[in-house]
Chain A
Amino acid sequence: MSGAAVLFDAPGPRARRLHRILTAVGVLLALALAWVILDRLIDREQLTAARWDWLLTGTAWTNYLLPGLFDTLRAAAIAIVLSMVLALGLAMARMSEVAPLRWAASIFVEFFRAVPVLIMMLFTFYFLSINQFTPSGLNPLIGVIVGLTAYNSAVLCEVIRNGVASLPSGQREAGLSIGLSPSQVRRSILVPQALTAMMPTLISQVVVITKDSALGYIILYPELVTSARRIGSAEGATLPAYVVVAAIFILVNYGLGKLAEFVESRQRRRNRSAGGVVQAGTATLGAGVVDGGQLMQDAAGRVHTNVGDAASEAAHRRREPRDD
């Protein structure tokens, strides 16, 4: 529901006055808060040039921030690709007619959705360090990737299943009626459509993964937060370094969020013009897209497969904030 226009009457004189007062109050409160914080920080000499001048030296960027950003993005990129591939396999297994396969996939998905990413990273890193299966230098990277992939593949698996469940039942029936087996129908008709529809979700999940890669600091993976710590050690400016790194995260993730929105709106336009059946999100529901389109998952991933028509399915599928 696109809110204001329908929710509220056009404001009359009294309402307009009230709005003006609220505006003033809002602005004043925001300014007051900012002023108190700035005043305090100036007081504590946090905003002096000496605390920040490292930022202008090239070496802070070439030695710490850029390599940190590179390592953050590298872990995120590898993790999203692996998660996607693994999620496809898991989704196929979870929808399979073979019961043991289904059970195994279900256990995998439920388990790794429950285990915090941080715990998974810690475990993988120390497990590899103790057992020496891999070169030690790679252990932090592997720890981060395993932690991110285990969780996100489980989440994406459920997204794929939801996508398949939200397709009109005619798609499946048509496939069966021309003599395809159920698994053929899934592979060549249902899943490809679900994948197209989940593009925006996938991009949003990249935001989650990028943020979560910051947990790699705990196993000393040299990503951005670790870089900030190293700047803190080398330059004696931990706090400014954290602020800069937070800003980099916000910029990168904001960009990704906007990209997801763009892809989603383009898909919706295309679907409408082609009278397409696949709907990415809650297209029938006005401004269904919560901005940034981050994170979605149906009720803890359980799908209502027996609801037939696309519109009601779409209504059941909500985009919702889910983040770890």
Chain B
Amino acid sequence: MIDLIEQAQLLPAFFLTIQLALWSAAFALILGTVIAILRLAPVGVLNALGASYVTLVRNTPLTLIVVACSLVLWGQLGIEPASRRLPDGSGNPDFISSLNFRLGVIGLSIYHAAFVCEAIRSGVNTIPLGQAEAARSIGLTFPQSLREVILPQAFRGAITPLGNVLIALVKNTTVVAAIGVFETAYRMRWIAEFRPADLMPGFALVALGFVILTLPLGLLVSHLSQRLAVKR
């Protein structure tokens, strides 16, 4: 078993999965918030932009988005988020692996931003109209009512869906195997191809790894959402 973990490089693979998830979560949160603001803004064109982003991205399989990052973003548009040379001028031995990692992060962020946006919107949607009406009627200005009444409740309401996006994101990192990032799905496939006798223990280890990663997240999310739930 230890042997298999070492040969299939499962620990580095899970480390990569965690890194992918953290970076993508950060970028998806930023991008998703921006899009949510676009969708809530009182300007028609911005609404439409946000809405089309969400519709397009959410209905496309993640595989295609990730592959597009490699084939279009890198291959066609020439965007190369990694350096071919080290600062001292010699060739960067990790060029392809860091390039693919970063393209993978971009793909995951683009995809999950659409879901972050919807999570934030659903957070806003949990607030009864009366809250905003009450805030306005006691004379709070728009920024005040947003700051004091709407956003705090929206944030609490969005904890559960945001947490679920995060959990989904952790599992979705497996999809970047399509562009040759050596994470868990890639290793799982390696075991199946080159060590078929170890398929069962390999699967058990990988599955266990994901249970260990996602179960505490799920517990944390439900704990937080119950603690912070707005009682109505």
Q: Are B203 and A123 in contact (CB under 8 A)?
A: yes
Contacts of A254 in B (CB 8 A): 55, 59
Q: Contacts A6-B132, A9-B142, A211-B59; is A40 near B125 (CB within 8 Å)? A: no
Q: Given the complex of chains A and B, what is the CA–CA distance between A101 and B67 in angstroms?
A: 43
B46 touches A26 (CB 8 A): yes
Report the bound CA distance from A37 to B77 in whole Å.
7
Say which residue of B45, B163, B184 sits within 8 Å of A27 (CB atoms): B45
Given contacts A225-B63, A312-B232, contact A122 B189 (CB under 8 A): yes
Alpha-carbon gap, A319 to B171, bound state (A): 20
CA distance A285 to B118 in the complex (A): 16
Q: Does A265 contact B (CB under 8 A)?
A: no
> With A46-B76, A318-B160 in contact, do A19 and B42 touch (Cβ < 8 Å)?
yes
**Complex: chain B residue closest to A11, CB-CB:** B42
Is B225 in contact with chain A by the CB < 8 A criterion?
yes
Interface residues on B, range: 35 or more
A166 at the interface (CB under 8 A from B): no
A239 touches B55 (CB 8 A): no
**Does A323 belong to the interface (CB within 8 Å)?**
yes
In the complex, what distance in Å separates the CA atom of A295 from the CA atom of B55? Answer: 14
- Please, which residues of chain B bring their CB within 8 A of the CB of A246? 60-61, 64, 68
| Contact in complex: B55, A215 (CB < 8 Å) | no
Question: Is B84 positioned at the interface, with any CB of A under 8 Å from its CB?
Answer: no
Instruction: Work out how many contacts link A and B, with CB atoms closer than 8 A.
Output: 240
- Residue A22 interfacial (CB < 8 Å): yes
Q: 22 pairs across A/B with beta carbons < 8 Å?
A: A4-B40, A7-B42, A19-B42, A19-B43, A27-B45, A44-B76, A113-B214, A115-B206, A116-B210, A126-B196, A211-B60, A211-B61, A214-B64, A218-B189, A249-B61, A254-B55, A282-B126, A288-B126, A289-B125, A300-B218, A300-B219, A322-B167
Whether A40 touches B77, Cβ cut-off 8 Å, given contacts A118-B185, A290-B118, A322-B165, is yes
Interface residues of B in 66-84 (CB under 8 A from A): 67-68, 71-72, 76-78
Q: Which residues of A contact B26 (CB under 8 A)?
A: none
* Residues of A contacting B217 in the complex (Cβ-Cβ under 8 angstroms): 300
Interface centre among A9, A113, A242, A320 (most CB of B within 10 A): A320
A110 CB–B CB distance under 8 Å: yes
The interface residues of chain B lying within 8 Å CB-to-CB of A249 are 59-61, 64
B68 touching A242 by the CB < 8 A rule?
yes
Asked if A320 and B122 sit within 8 Å, CB to CB, the answer is yes
At the interface with chain A, which of B4-12, B85-93, B94-102, B172-180?
A: B172-180
When chains A and B are docked, how far (Å) is the Cα of A324 from the Cα of B128? Answer: 30
Q: Check: B14 CB closer than 8 A to any chain A CB.
A: no
Chain A proximity mask over B111-148: 1 for CB below 8 Å, otherwise 0: 00011101101101111110111001000001001100
A298–B126 Cα distance when bound, in Å, is: 13
Whether B128 pairs with A286 at a CB distance below 8 angstroms is: yes
Contact B211 A323 (CB under 8 A): no
Total number of A residues with any Cβ neighbor in B under 8 Å? 83
A78 an interface residue at 8 Å Cβ cutoff? no
In angstroms, Cα B121 to Cα A3, docked, is: 10
Chain B residues engaging chain A, CB cutoff 8 angstroms: 40-46, 49, 51, 55-56, 58-64, 67-68, 71-72, 76-78, 114-116, 118-119, 121-122, 124-129, 131-133, 136, 142, 145-146, 150, 157, 160-161, 163-165, 167-168, 171-172, 174-175, 177-178, 184-185, 188-189, 192, 196, 199-200, 203, 206-207, 210-211, 213-215, 217-219, 221-222, 225-226, 229, 231-232
A303–B125 CA distance with the chains assembled, in angstroms: 20
At the interface, is chain B mostly helix, strand, loop or mixed? helix
Interchain CB contact under 8 A, A215 and B76 = no
Q: Is A315 an interface residue (CB 8 A)?
A: yes
| Contact indicator A290/B164 (Cβ below 8 Å) | no
Closest partner residue, chain B, to A253 (CB atom): B59
Please, what's the 1-or-0 string for A271-308, where 1 marks a CB less than 8 Å from any CB in chain B? 00000000000101111111110110111111010000
B160, A115: Cβ atoms under 8 Å?
A: no
Beyond A246-B64, A320-B160, A320-B161, is A119–B226 a contact (Cβ under 8 Å)?
no
- Nearest CB on A from B55, distance (A): 6
What residues on B are CB-neighbors of A252 within 8 Å? 59
CA distance A324 to B61 in the complex (A): 10
Give the distance in Å from the alpha carbon of A300 to the alpha carbon of B226 in the complex: 11
A282 and B125 form a contact (CB under 8 A): yes
**Which residues from chain A contact B200 at a C-beta distance below 8 Å?**
127
Q: Which residues of A contact B184 (CB under 8 A)?
A: 116, 119
Give A17 to B40 CA distance when docked, in angstroms. Answer: 18
